[in-house]
Copies of this chain bind each other. A is one copy, B any other.
């Protein structure tokens, strides 16, 4: 990272920003076991159709998911599973190091190792 210039930093920041939203993480989470269409993702995530569609559009813009229309449905899938490595790393860091408060610690130590 040492030689990254301004423009590159902005790109990296934007990438992190795409992941910095609970609903988008939820969607990515739901896509772990394979592609799903918008209706399915809407139901799983508990959001509204419009909102999920917006998030999916954003995720697709950052190439985090791939879009494929089939009939009237649009299926989305993870573009690169290495995105989950990021989440694992973050969960690990939070679980191990950031858990100053006990209740937060519990959230992660109990659940983050199950993938």
Q: Which one of B9, B21, B63 lies within 8 Å of A22 (CB-CB)?
A: B9
| Interface residue tally on A, bucketed by range | 35 or more
The residues of B that contact A24 with a CB separation of less than 8 Å are 13
Q: How many copies does the complex hold?
A: 2
State whether A104 and B11 are in contact (beta carbons under 8 Å apart), knowing that A1-B87, A29-B4, A112-B1 are contacts in the complex: yes
State whether A97 and B12 are in contact (beta carbons under 8 Å apart), knowing that A17-B20, A29-B4 are contacts in the complex: no
Is A80 interfacial (CB-CB < 8 Å)?
yes
Closest to A1 in B: B87
User: Are A63 and B98 touching (Cβ within 8 A)?
Assistant: yes
Minimum distance in angstroms from A8 CB to a CB of chain B: 4
Q: Mark A83-115, 1 if CB is under 8 A from B, else 0.
A: 111111111111001101000100110011011
